[in-house]
Amino acid sequence: MANPKRRHSKARTATRRAQYKVRSLPVTQECSNCGSDKILHRACPNCGHYRGRAVVERTERY
């Protein structure tokens, strides 16, 4: 197995590791029922709908 000839700098390592967080952000889309943003393949946190039907019962908070 090949080994590196030179040591990678701290800046180069940090730059590579910084891209990991950027790509791991959740993808959002517009809810078809209320129009707010929601995470893909999840029930809408605003109205509780998923794939055109209510799956989470929403209660009013005081």
Domain holding 41, by residue range, is 11-54
- Structural tokens at position 35: 């129009």
* Within-domain flag for 48: yes
Q: Dump pLDDT digits (tens) for 2-61.
A: 898 999 999 999 988 877 766 677 889 999 999 999 999 999 988 999 998 888 887 766
The verdict on pTM exceeding 0.75 is no
* Within-domain flag for 5: no
* Within-domain flag for 41: yes
* Within-domain flag for 3: no
* Within-domain flag for 62: no
Tell me the torsion sign for CA atoms 49, 50, 52, 53.
Answer: negative
- Structural tokens at position 37: 């943003």
